[in-house]
Amino acid sequence: MFKKIAAFFRSVRIEMRAVSWPTKDDLKEGTTVVIVMSGIVAIFLTAVDGIFNYLIRTLLLKG
């Protein structure tokens, strides 16, 4: 069992060396994109929620 665990960690170490890690600039750019897109999606969903809220209230109060 310990041989399997040791082999697992050896293979993990080998794979981690093969990973292509992003640069600091790539990380900043990716983070900026995620934050901006999250804001855009939040604004869009808020608008859609407001529209549906208005429509449902209008239909329920008139019915």
Domain boundaries, the chain: 22-63
User: What band does 56 get if pLDDT is binned at 50, 70 and 90?
Assistant: very high
Cα separation, 57 vs 55, whole angstroms:
6
Kindly give, in sequence order, each residue whose CB lies less than 8 Å from that of residue 22, ignoring residues fewer than 6 positions away.
30
Q: What is the mean pLDDT of residues 42-63?
A: 93
pLDDT at 4 over 90: yes
